[in-house]
Structure formats: C-alpha cells, structure tokens
C-alpha cells in the first residue's frame, strides 16, 4: 500500500498534524523534527494524495481546457502552450473537445465541476451564454481564450485581430498593392481582421470595394471557390488576404488552377502562422499570434483567479506580428 501521513507520523513518532505541517510548511515546527520527517518521507517514498487535500479545500490543481478541435493546428498550439505553462506552475490541464457543440460544452462543464477542477479556460465559441453567466455567478474561475464576449463581464486573453488585419494589409500596401481581396470565414475573429483591413485601406487613402470581399465557409474548398470568384472579375485583385491560413491555402490552390503565378501575379497572405506555412510552396506569408505568450498569460490569469484574487476583470489583448515568407512580393 502507498504510505499515508499516518505511516509517516507513526514512523516519526509524531502526530499527523505535525507531518501535515511540514508538508505544507505551515505552523511552527522545529528544524530537527522537520528534517527527520522529511527523511522518513523519502525513505518510505511518501507521496501526498492530492485528492484528500483537495477535499479539504485546497483545490485539485487541475484546470479544464475547452477547445473545439485539437486536430486544428491553431488549437493544438493553444493547448501546447497552456499545458506548458501549467506544468511550470504545477497545474494539469484536462482536455475537453467540444466540436463547437453546445451540448458537449455543457456536459463537459458539468462533469468537470463534479471533478472539482479549479477553473476553466474556454477557447471554444461557447454559444451558451446562459451557462456562462451561471458559472460566473457561482464564482467559478473562468478565462476566455482567443475570443471575447463583448457584452459579458468576464476575463479574457485574446489576440488583437483587428491589429492583425491592419498589419497584413499594410504589408500588402507597402508592396505596392492597391486592389486587395479578402477571403474570410464568417466568424467574429474574421470580421475583426476585416475591420483592420478596412482601417488600413482608409489610412492609406485607398478605396474600399465590397466586391473584393468574400465571406463564406470555413473549409479550404470554400476558400478555393471564393477565390475563383475573385479571379473572374475584371480588374482583379493583385493580392489576397486569407483571414486564416486555411483560407489562404485555398486561395493558393485556386491560383494554381487558374495558372496565376504566386507571388509574381498574385500575393497571398494568411493568418495564424501554422506550421504548414513553411511546407507549402511558395511558403506562405502569415500573421503570427504570440501563442506562447497567450498561453502563458491565460494560465497565469486563471491561476490568479483561482488563488482568490477575484478583484477586477481584465481583457488582455496581445499583438500579433508579421512573418514574411515567399507568397507576397512587390507588384
């Protein structure tokens, strides 16, 4: 059997209270007994049972991470860096894949509460606002990751999508492009990125033209199709901003089919800087989120809340940066 504090106490000829105190180094214990107890713990290979201590209110040191789909490299990155920081801080992360399905979200949340995780990092859309509010009311530590709820008082760590749209567009503009198309999926983030695009155009005093904007499905095929439309119009765009890498890959594929040379005849830029960017040819220029910092911030913030600092709510917004590769060039 695994030894318990009782075994240690008995072996050391002290009470369990004393053992517990050296374990948490709380209370006042003489150096001597402290050392002795530590030795005995080593000898017996004592490992405290986190469950028991959790039951006394110390927490499980686990947080639940809700994401739609790990297979999506963007989310895999989130997970990686969140887990990584958790590891450093002694917190484990329990994976909850939601498939963007509100029922699954609800089930996971409920299950995780029963399992007494200390908090939640939510990186899925989380349509169920009722549930979210309920959690917030129950003072469950929550951090929204990579998308905020504009209308709810909740902590969040996100990337500044609008700014990302700005730098992507400015990069293209600086290369001399004036007719810049967009291929986007219909999500909040995408719309923010498009907002940045408009902003940059305006700043450069370039006209904004609806016909350059294609908003559609989330799959590469959707993007491919959308790009096709963009190509067929007269006076077509010389550059296209895909609001995520997958969109951009769809555009690349369409260009190939239409025999349009990238980047000579068409510049393409993506968003997310997934590992695939350097695998395709030409390598894809993309806007990179500071995923590692995002993950770190999110974990730190949730721990902060777990430790009882339910002070002020905060929205942390990190800035993305540009990674120039071979898919963009001067006109």
- 49 SS3 class: coil
Determine contact, residues 65/121, Cβ cutoff 8 Å: yes
58 binds DNA (CB under 7 A): yes
Angle value at C-alpha 296, between 318 and 96, nearest 5 degrees: 105
> Residue 128 phi/psi, 5° resolution?
-75, 85
CB nearer to DNA: pick between 6 and 208: 6
For residue 218, the partner it binds in DNA, its own copies, none, with Cβ less than 5 to 8 A by kind, is none
Tell me how many residues contact DNA (CB under 7 A).
32
Q: By the criterion CB under 8 A, which residues form the site for its own copies? A: 47-52, 54-55, 60-62, 65, 69-71, 73, 76-77, 79-80, 83-84, 87, 90, 92-97, 104, 108, 110-116, 220, 249, 252-253, 256, 275-276, 278-281
CB nearer to DNA: pick between 3 and 228: 3
Tokens found for residue 242: 């895909």
DSSP states along 206-251:
PPP-GGGEEEE-SSHHHHHHHHHHHHHSSS--SEEEESSHHHHHHH
Q: Look-up: residue for tokens 């209270």?
A: 17
Nearest to 97 by CA among 123, 115, 133, 63: 123
23 binds DNA (CB under 7 A): yes
18 binds DNA (CB under 7 A): yes
Q: Residues 6 or more apart from 308 whose CB is under 8 A from it? A: none
CB nearer to its own copies: pick between 148 and 265: 265
- Provide the minimum distance between the beta carbon of 140 and its own copies in the complex, in angstroms, as a whole number: 11
CB nearer to DNA: pick between 19 and 123: 19
15 binds DNA (CB under 7 A): yes
Task: Among 10, 16, 148, 314, indicate the residue that binds DNA (CB under 7 A).
Answer: 16
The helix, strand and coil proportions of the chain, stated in percent and rounded to the nearest 5, come to 45, 15, 35
Determine contact, residues 282/263, Cβ cutoff 8 Å: yes
For residue 279, the partner it binds in DNA, its own copies, none, with Cβ less than 5 to 8 A by kind, is its own copies
- 159 SS3 class: strand
CA distance 125 to 148: 9
For residue 89, the partner it binds in its own copies, DNA, none, with Cβ less than 5 to 8 A by kind, is none
Q: Residues 6 or more apart from 35 whose CB is under 8 A from it? A: none
For residue 45, the partner it binds in DNA, its own copies, none, with Cβ less than 5 to 8 A by kind, is none
Task: Among 10, 44, 48, 229, indicate the residue that binds DNA (CB under 7 A).
Answer: 48
For residue 18, the partner it binds in DNA, its own copies, none, with Cβ less than 5 to 8 A by kind, is DNA
- Provide the minimum distance between the beta carbon of 279 and its own copies in the complex, in angstroms, as a whole number: 5
Q: Which residues bind DNA (CB under 7 A)?
A: 1-2, 4-6, 13-21, 23-24, 26-30, 32-34, 48-49, 52-53, 55-58
């Amino acid at each position: 059997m695994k030894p318990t504090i009782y075994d240690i106490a008995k072996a050391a000829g002290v009470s369990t209270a004393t053992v517990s105190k050296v374990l948490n180094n709380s209370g006042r214990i003489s150096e001597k007994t402290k050392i002795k107890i530590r030795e005995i713990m080593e000898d017996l290979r004592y490992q405290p049972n986190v469950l028991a201590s959790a039951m006394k209110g110390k927490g499980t040191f686990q947080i639940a991470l809700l994401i739609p789909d790990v297979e999506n490299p963007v989310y895999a990155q989130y997970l990686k860096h969140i887990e990584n920081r958790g590891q450093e801080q002694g917190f484990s992360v329990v994976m909850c894949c939601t498939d963007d399905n509100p029922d699954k979200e609800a089930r996971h949340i409920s299950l995780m509460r029963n399992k007494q995780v200390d908090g939640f990092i939510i990186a899925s859309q989380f349509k169920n606002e009722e549930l979210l509010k309920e959690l917030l009311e129950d003072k469950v530590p929550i951090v929204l990751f990579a998308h905020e709820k504009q209308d709810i008082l909740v902590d969040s760590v996100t990337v500044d999508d609008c700014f990302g749209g700005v730098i992507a567009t400015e990069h293209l503009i600086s290369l001399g492009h004036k007719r810049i198309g967009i291929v986007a999926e219909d999500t909040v983030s995408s719309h923010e990125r498009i907002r940045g695009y408009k902003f940059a155009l305006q700043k450069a005093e370039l006209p904004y033209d609806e016909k350059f904007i294609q908003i559609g499905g989330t799959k590469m095929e959707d993007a491919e199709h959308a790009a096709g439309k963009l190509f067929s119009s007269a006076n077509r765009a010389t550059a296209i901003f895909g609001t995520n890498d997958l969109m951009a890959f769809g555009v690349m594929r369409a260009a190939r089919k239409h025999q349009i040379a990238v980047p000579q005849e068409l510049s393409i830029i993506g968003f997310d800087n997934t590992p695939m960017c350097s695998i395709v040819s030409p390598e894809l220029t993309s806007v990179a989120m500071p995923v590692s910092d995002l993950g770190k911030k999110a974990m730190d913030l949730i721990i902060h809340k777990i430790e009882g600092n339910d002070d002020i709510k905060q929205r942390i917004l990190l800035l993305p940066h540009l990674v120039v590769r071979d898919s963009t060039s001067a006109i």
